[in-house]
Amino acid sequence: MSTRRILFFCMGNICRSPTAEGVMRARLAAAGLDVEVDSAGTHGYHVGEPPDERSQQHALKRGYDLGALRARRLEARDFERFDLVLGMDDDNLAHAARLCPPAQRHRLQLLMDYAPDAGSRHVPDPYYGGEAGFERVLDLVEAACDGLIATLRRR
């Protein structure tokens, strides 16, 4: 299967999934790979809003500009449009699975499946935590995006 479109998702699409979108865009550009990337949330709490200011600040320190991104809600048609639909944790994965048509379930995975040695199966939500949580998200997302790019190169 050729992967041309990847969607990342979390709950509100203001911390984890836009971070993954921004990191993946930068990593793909550096790798010279032409893949469309987007992000969404399983809930519509923040539709139209930019990523959380803390996510933006921490990402920018590492060279990722998330400022132009805006939250949107995951839709059933996303499973037709994207080749991979990657969630940040089991709760959001279960929510997305309820939207996903059975014929597209193979597209639905956890992002951290691409970084099995990272020490975490999930990207934890940093929203209610401190600064270290946003750095941990970036560490995990960078590892998973690197693993995903290695997988894309093998395909």
**Residues 105-113: what's their mean pLDDT?**
97
**Catalytic residue selected from 15, 16, 52, 89:** 16
Q: Which of 47, 31, 30, 27 is nearest to 39 (CA)?
A: 47
C-alpha atoms less than 13 angstroms from C-alpha of 19 in its C-beta half-sphere: 37
Domains, the chain, ranges and CATH?
5-154 (3.40.50.2300)
pLDDT of 23 > 80? The answer is yes
Residue range 57-83, pLDDT digits in tens: 999 999 999 999 999 999 999 999 999
Catalytic residue among 52, 78, 89, 125: 125
The burial class, CB within 10 Å (0-12 / 13-18 / 19+), for 64 is: buried
Distance CA 44, CA 60 (A): 25
**% of residues, the chain, pLDDT over 70:** 99
Contacts of 96 (CB under 8 A, 6+ apart): 9, 42, 74, 85, 87, 108
According to the model, what pLDDT value does residue 155 have?
Answer: 80
Residue 16 is among the residues annotated as catalytic for this protein: yes
CB-based contact 49:69 (threshold 8 Å): no
Measured N-to-C along each axis, helices 131-154 and 53-61 cross at an angle, to the nearest 10 degrees, of: 60
Per-residue confidence at 88, pLDDT binned at 50, 70, 90?
very high
* pLDDT tens-digit series, residues 31-48: 999 999 999 999 999 999
Is 38 a catalytic site residue? Answer: no
Query: For the residues 103-122, what does the mean pLDDT come to?
Result: 97
Kindly report the average pLDDT of the chain as a whole number: 96
Instruction: Give the model's confidence band at 2: pLDDT under 50 very low, under 70 low, under 90 confident, else very high.
Output: confident
The mean per-residue pLDDT over the stretch 111-117 comes to 97
Average pLDDT score over residue span 13-33: 97
Helix (H) or strand (E) holding 30: helix 16-31
Whether 125 is catalytic: yes
